[in-house]
């Protein structure tokens, strides 16, 4: 039986997307090769914010306490350090896509590392030096990091975001099934995704 293909739009600056990633990983463990996951970009902050300040950012991270209280989620820490707030959504997407040109495993290592670095370690994942450090922590070849500057990856990132917006997706994480209408928006409880997938698998039998 052909696997069900799930398309997940997500942004690295979105706390609920961190929880969504944890739950998608659980689904992959449960359903194995009966599902395939494709991660696509969504840009909550497409352009740099000229008005960002560390004080505002620290106050904003208090809102992370809500996703932190959810079961089956990521690890969050309210910002207490001096690392600058992230500039915009695009830089971490480019690094993740550069990792994907190496292998699926490389992508997943960088994807997970970016989220943990931002939300649990309060690191600025739009800073070039930080992104290079995360790349090394994922044990990827140093010379391959340059792929993150590839214009094709930037266009792919923008195209994926624009496609999602054109479909009517206005929140992330957003999970949809290839070839089917509708989607699930927000980091929903695992059981909601599980029932959705199980119904779809039964329909394919």
Per-residue model confidence (pLDDT) at position 49: 87
How many residues does this entry show for the chain? 205
pLDDT tens-digit readout, 84-128: 899 999 999 999 999 999 999 999 999 999 999 999 999 999 999
pTM, to two decimals:
0.96
At 143, the pLDDT band (50, 70, 90 cuts) reads: very high
Predicted pLDDT of residue 81: 84
Domain of 39 in residue numbering reads as 4-204
CATH number of the domain that 82 lies in? Answer: 3.40.30.10
Distance CA 20, CA 172 (A): 9
pLDDT tens track for 8-55:
999 999 999 999 999 999 999 999 999 999 999 999 999 998 888 999
Q: Judge contact between 194 and 30, C-beta under 8 A.
A: yes
- CA angle 64–176–109, rounded 5-degree value: 55
Per DSSP, the three-state class of 170 is coil
The number of distinct structural domains making up the chain is: 1
Asked if the bond preceding 173 is cis, omega within 30° of 0, the reply is yes
Spatial neighbors of 55 by CB under 8 A, at least 6 apart, are none
Q: Which of 114, 106, 111 is nearest to 25 (CA)?
A: 111
């Amino acid at each position: 039986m052909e696997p069900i293909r799930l398309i997940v739009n997500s942004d690295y600056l979105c706390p609920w997307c961190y929880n969504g990633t944890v739950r998608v990983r659980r689904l992959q463990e449960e359903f194995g090769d009966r599902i395939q996951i494709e991660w696509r970009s969504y840009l909550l902050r497409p352009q740099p914010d000229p008005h960002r300040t560390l004080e505002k950012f620290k106050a904003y991270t208090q809102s992370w306490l809500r996703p932190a209280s959810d079961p089956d989620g990521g690890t969050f820490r309210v910002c207490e350090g001096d690392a600058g707030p992230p500039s915009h959504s695009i830089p971490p997407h480019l690094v993740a896509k550069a990792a994907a040109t190496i292998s699926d495993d490389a992508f997943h290592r960088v994807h997970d590392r970016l989220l943990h670095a931002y939300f649990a370690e309060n690191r600025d994942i739009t800073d070039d030096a930080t992104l290079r450090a995360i790349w090394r922590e994922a044990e990827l070849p140093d010379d391959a990091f340059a792929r993150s500057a590839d214009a094709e990856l930037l266009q792919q990132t923008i195209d994926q975001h624009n496609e999602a917006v054109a479909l009517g997706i206005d929140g992330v994480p957003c999970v949809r099934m290839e070839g089917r209408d509708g989607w699930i928006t927000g980091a929903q409880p695992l059981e909601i995704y599980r029932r959705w997938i199980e119904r779809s698998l039964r329909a394919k039998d």
